[in-house]
Amino acid sequence: MLSVCSLFAGIGGIDLAFSQAGFDIVWANEKDAAACETYRRNFGEKQLVEKDIRKVKADDIPDFDVLAAGFPCQPFSIAGKQKGFGDKRGNLFFEITRIVDAKRPKVVFLENVANLVEHDNGRTFLVIFNSLAQFGYVVYYKVMYANEYGNLPHIRKRIYITAVHDSVSKGYSHPEPIALTVQSSDIIHRDVRQNEIYYYNGNDLFSYFAGKMFDKSAIYRPTDNEVRLTKNRMCPTLTANMGTYPDRVPIVWDDFGIRKLTLRECLDFQGFPQSFFFPNTISLDDAYKQIGNSVCVPVVRRIAERIGLLLG
């Protein structure tokens, strides 16, 4: 069985996708304690090392075929300050190349915000490209939407990088778009009353939201200046700041009032299986943050399947 080393594993979205594609996750690393709780709840204890990656020696990691990482995206996001490698989180990318240099896996898979390509007039991406190329990797990359490549009604745009080592004889090609057959109404059941923690009924924001939400069948994204209707009734991009600013969680008007998307709905919009749950030991804010920091599982699974064919 092909093996995977997972860096910046978060709650395990990438790990789940590769597992679904038939890979064995032999080692995973994450330093956020709350994310590690969620990871263990769904994957067990065996492969997860809760530690700052900068303190991990490459020799302590078992050999593997694929290195997979959704490395911190905030330094490159248009929603953040875009400090890039000037942000200490941006410099964590070089922890990936440190381990790639030592282990020389057959494939390196990376996921990040689409703005990575344009950040600092393309210089940031050129550093990433050249950092992999210097170790003998052919770098393939593509910006993909979840609604076009993952059959999810979620407007989430990300860059996916697959770097294949020269020792692999076959070339790689990214998945092609597929039809969107899942609708938001398959995920949001407005005739079902949710837990009261999600509702704004009686809250000061209820009247404000009610005055902006003219289409009760749509999903809205609250921002600093407006309540924005998302196109085609799809879910807007779920972001990590949902956990930092609770009123940034997308909202809907159901048969019982105005409310946030529930944690289960957010997981569904990211393509997580029904068997995936958050432990009751973490806060609601942490759970929202973890969802926003994760990936659209079906998109990554399709890429993992391509990598499996390449290495099989």
Average pLDDT of span 75-79: 46
% the chain with pLDDT above 70: 94
- Picking from 230, 270, 223, 269, the residue whose alpha carbon sits closest to that of residue 248 is 223
Tell me the average pLDDT of the chain.
Answer: 91
The SS3 assignment for 113 reads: strand
Average pLDDT of span 87-94: 65
Supply the DSSP symbol for 34: H
Residue 51: partners with Cβ closer than 8 Å, 6 or more residues away: 29, 31
% the chain with pLDDT above 90: 78
At 228-238, the pLDDT tens digits run 999 889 999 99
pLDDT class of 77 with cuts at 50, 70, 90: very low
Per DSSP, the residues of 194-232 read --GGGB-TTSTHHHHHHTT---TTS-EEE-SS-EEEPGG
Q: 5, 36, 73, 235: which is the annotated catalytic residue?
A: 73
Is 5 a catalytic site residue? Answer: no
How many CA atoms lie less than 13 Å away from 227 in the CB half-sphere? 22
At 169-211, the pLDDT tens digits run 888 999 999 999 999 999 999 999 999 999 999 888 999 999 9
pLDDT class of 108 with cuts at 50, 70, 90: very high
- Confidence check: pLDDT of 80 > 80: no
Q: Which two tokens stand for residue 201?
A: 């009924």
CB of 162 within 8 A of CB of 303?
A: yes
Given phi > 0 = left and psi -120 to 50 = alpha, else beta, which region is 55? alpha
At 48-68, the pLDDT tens digits run 999 999 999 999 999 999 999
Tell me, what's the pLDDT at 45? 84
pLDDT class of 151 with cuts at 50, 70, 90: very high
**Cα–Cα distance measured from residue 9 to residue 98, given in angstroms and rounded to the nearest whole number:** 17
